[in-house]
């Protein structure tokens, strides 16, 4: 109705109202999601590179948030994480995710890495470092096993603050990865300025390996660049043996993707975490 009063956008007004109402409802539902136990974590294995990967090569898992909405069904993280960010709910949701992932990883017989995604709003929240410290104490997880994945978006928002925070996080003994490397604009600047432990090469480049020669050149260059800086490289979205073979030949340190394992509840990976004997 408001939009219609403004005149020029009247054609689109009903649809816009719908979207806004829809978002409001979804936001309301999201604010109850933790309490209702609708959030869960799926885990995706990361393996040390080799041409024939098996369970013994798994070095860690990435925790990926899942929201099972009571009536809408599964809402993908690409939708509800941005919603949580806009509304400020990300802090509470992010804390739940971090605690849950650390608690889970601390229960594994094998001391594998656990990678947790941090969104910009979460990273720039002033209590983050204190909260991570508290969760490490609470769960008993060895700090070096925790890895935080951040995108350059964090750094674009507030460079100085981002750098200061990153240093404090690292002082806890926690590792930090640059996620989606190559997908943004100024990645090289950030790579030089920030003490990352790991670079995750964006899935888009891996997807195009074998489809165009440029992607192969870019992936090769990024691996060389990372190694030159003393940073290890992980390729995301590895789906085929051809992609894996290329990455191994180029010296990429680790791989993640459907070829190695799809994100799933952790009980689907008992051998990898050391809860069942290997076959
Ligand atoms: P991301 O951090 O880049 O996560 C990797 C995404 O790629 C995941 O999608 C994963 O399921 C998907 N993926 C992994 N391997 C393959 C593959 O071989 N092929 C293809 N096509 N896709 C693959 P997902 O779980 O839907 O997550 C999407 C994004 O949502 C994540 O991208 C991350 O940015 C965000 N996200 C997920 N969980 C969390 C979380 O707990 N906290 C925050 N802040 N963001 C999260
Ligand atoms: Ca192997
Ligand atoms: Ca990630
Ligand atoms: Ca990524």
Tell me the HSE value of 124 on the side-chain side, using a 13 A CA sphere: 17
How much distance in Å is there from the Cα of 174 to the middle of ligand 3? Answer: 16
Say whether pTM exceeds 0.90. yes
How much distance in Å is there from the Cα of 42 to the middle of ligand 2? Answer: 24
Can you tell me the distance from the alpha carbon of 218 to that of 216, in angstroms, rounded to the nearest whole number? Answer: 5
Instruction: Provide the ipTM.
Output: 0.97
Instruction: Retrieve residue 4's tokens.
Output: 């219609």
243 alpha carbon, distance to own chain's centre: 21
Task: Note the pLDDT of residue 120.
Answer: 85
Can you tell me the distance from the alpha carbon of 244 to that of 108, in angstroms, rounded to the nearest whole number? Answer: 27
How much distance in Å is there from the Cα of 55 to the middle of ligand 2? Answer: 8
Can you tell me the distance from the alpha carbon of 50 to that of 254, in angstroms, rounded to the nearest whole number? Answer: 8
Instruction: Retrieve residue 219's tokens.
Output: 């992936």
pLDDT tens string, the chain, 279 residues long: the values are 334 444 444 455 555 555 777 888 889 999 999 999 999 999 999 999 999 999 999 999 999 999 999 999 999 999 999 999 988 899 999 999 999 999 999 999 999 999 999 988 888 877 899 999 999 999 999 999 999 999 887 777 788 888 899 999 999 999 999 999 988 776 788 888 888 999 999 999 999 998 889 999 999 999 999 999 999 999 999 999 999 999 999 999 999 999 999 999 999 999 999 998 876
Instruction: Tell whether ligand 1 has an atom less than 6 A from the beta carbon of residue 243.
Output: no
Instruction: Tell whether ligand 1 has an atom less than 6 A from the beta carbon of residue 261.
Output: no
For residue 59, give the nearest of 48, 74, 44, 75 by alpha carbon. Answer: 48
Instruction: Retrieve residue 252's tokens.
Output: 């990429």
Instruction: Tell whether ligand 1 has an atom less than 6 A from the beta carbon of residue 139.
Output: no
Can you tell me the distance from the alpha carbon of 174 to that of 130, in angstroms, rounded to the nearest whole number? Answer: 13
> For residues 19 and 238, is the Cβ–Cβ distance under 8 A?
no
pLDDT tens digits, one per residue of 26-70: 899 999 999 999 999 999 999 999 999 999 999 999 999 999 999
Place of tokens 């899942």: 66
For residue 202, give the nearest of 238, 166, 159 by alpha carbon. Answer: 238
């Amino acid at each position: 109705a408001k939009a219609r009063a403004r005149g020029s956008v009247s054609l689109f007004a009903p649809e816009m109202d719908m979207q806004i109402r829809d978002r409001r409802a979804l936001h309301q539902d999201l604010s109850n999601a933790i309490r209702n136990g609708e959030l869960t974590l799926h885990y995706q294995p990361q393996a040390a590179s080799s041409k024939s990967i098996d369970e013994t090569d798994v070095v860690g898992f990435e925790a990926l948030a899942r929201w099972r909405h009571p009536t809408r069904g599964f809402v993908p993280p690409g939708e509800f994480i941005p919603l949580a960010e806009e509304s400020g709910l990300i802090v509470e949701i992010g804390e739940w995710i971090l605690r849950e992932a650390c608690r889970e990883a601390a229960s594994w017989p094998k001391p594998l890495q656990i990678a947790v995604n941090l969104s910009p709003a979460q990273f720039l929240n002033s209590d983050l470092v204190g909260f991570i410290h508290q969760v490490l104490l609470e769960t008993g997880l060895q700090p070096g096993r925790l890895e935080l994945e951040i995108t350059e978006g964090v750094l674009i928002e507030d460079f100085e603050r981002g750098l200061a925070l990153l240093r404090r996080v690292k002082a806890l003994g926690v590792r930090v990865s640059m996620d989606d490397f190559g997908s943004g604009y100024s990645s090289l600047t950030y790579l030089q300025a920030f003490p990352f432990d790991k670079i995750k090469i964006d899935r888009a480049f891996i997807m195009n390996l074998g489809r165009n020669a440029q992607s192969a050149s870019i992936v090769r260059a990024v691996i060389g660049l990372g190694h030159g800086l003393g940073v290890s490289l992980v390729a995301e979205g590895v789906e085929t043996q051809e992609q894996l073979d290329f990455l191994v030949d180029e010296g990429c340190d680790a791989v993640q993707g459907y070829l190695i394992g799809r994100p799933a509840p952790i009980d689907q990976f008992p051998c990898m975490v050391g809860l069942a004997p290997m076959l």
